[in-house]
Amino acid sequence: MYNEALMKRAVQLARKVKKEGEGDPFGCVIARNGEVVAEEGNKGFKTFDPTTHAELEAVRTASRFLKTQDLSDCELYTSGEPCPMCEAAINWSGIPVVYTAKTAKEAENAGLLPVPETTYELQYKPLQDQTLDPYLDEQ
């Protein structure tokens, strides 16, 4: 069930990371049964790591804190609509509900860069030696 105080905290985290120059203004809170299990802000400028988005960092923190990859009993509050990378992490973690204060269009209108297009060429190159299958146990 939606909790305005948790959304307010996500927005406060976004404002904090922007003010402190740690990253773009995005914040995220993950809660289970109304209790915060993770809160993170974007850290891209601070870490020089383009994957340290607030939602992705919060999923990592919540998973470590709860000692499980299954966050299906949690809710996620984010200051801005998750990008495809963060959506993937949210999907993999099983979080069933995401609340966002701002849409992707609003972020773009605020001058934040849109999600980049794919910049690489994906080439499928299976190994000739089929005994080296990464998905099968060693024989």
* Residues that are catalytic: 55
Cα 2–Cα 55–Cα 58 angle in degrees, nearest 5:
90
* Contact assessment for residue 93 and residue 63, using Cβ atoms and an 8 Å cutoff: yes
Structure tokens at 76: 């996620």
The two tokens of residue 26 are 């995005």
